[in-house]
Structure 1
Amino acid sequence: MDVLIHLLVGLHIIGIAALLGGFLTQMKAMGRGTARFVPGMLHGAFTMLVTGVALVGLNEADGHHVNTVKIGVKLALLIVILSLVYVQRDEEKVDKRVFGLVGLLTTANIFIAVLWT
């Protein structure tokens, strides 16, 4: 069970890397007002959702304590991120504020994961 949990943690990190990496590669375009949500951002957000839900379930099944408030906050942020990226995935240009909000929420999600104990 531990190997599966560690594998899913790795995949979860790959998902966040795809989401944040897509944001960071579009920052220069965001300054020009031509940023768009690249497919990797959508795939990264979906990967985070699937692996995150699986991790919570496996940790509960393995008898580990799960901080449900922390997981709820992270899930709420991810749903907002996923909704924004999914709805505007085909747009040629995304508003700077919306694009910046996705980056801010992604970064907040990372810090919540690392700092909230």
Structure 2
Amino acid sequence: MDVLIHLFVGLHIVGIASLLGGFLTQMKAMGRGTARFVPAMLHGAATMLVTGVILVGLNQADDQHVNNIKIGVKLALLIVILDLVYVKRDDETVDKRLFGLVGALTTANVFIAVLWT
């Protein structure tokens, strides 16, 4: 079971890298007001959602403690991120504040995962 959990943790990290990497590649464009949500951001957020749900299930099946409040907060942030990226994915440009919000929520999600014990 540990190998499977570690596999999905790795895939979860790939998802966050895709989401955050897509955001970071658009930072210069955000300064010019021409940033857009790239497909990597949508795919990364979707990967995080799927692998996160699987991880919760695997950890519970392995009788490990799961902090449901922490998972709920992370899920709520991820749903907001996924909704914003999905709805605005075809727009030529995205408002700076909205684009920055996705980056801030993504970063908050990372810090919640790491610091909330």
Q: TM-score, normalised by structure 2?
A: 1.00
CA distance in 2, matches of 1:10, 1:61: 19
Kindly report which structure 2 residues correspond to 1:76-91, keeping only aligned pairs within 5 A, or say none. Answer: 76-91=76-91
SS in 1 for 2:28: helix
Kindly report which structure 2 residues correspond to 1:41-56, keeping only aligned pairs within 5 A, or say none. Answer: 41-56=41-56
Q: CA deviation at 1:7?
A: 0.2
**Structure 1 counterpart of 2:30:** 30
CA distance in 2, matches of 1:31, 1:109: 23
What RMSD in Å do the two structures reach over aligned CA positions? 0.2
Deviations 1:69-91 (A, max 9, x none): 00000000000000000000000
Q: CA deviation at 1:17?
A: 0.2
Identity among equivalent pairs (%): 85
Unaligned runs of 5+ in 2: none
Q: CA deviation at 1:111?
A: 0.1
1:13 aligns with 2:13: yes
Q: CA deviation at 1:2?
A: 0.6
Q: How many residues align?
A: 117
**Structure 1 counterpart of 2:40:** 40
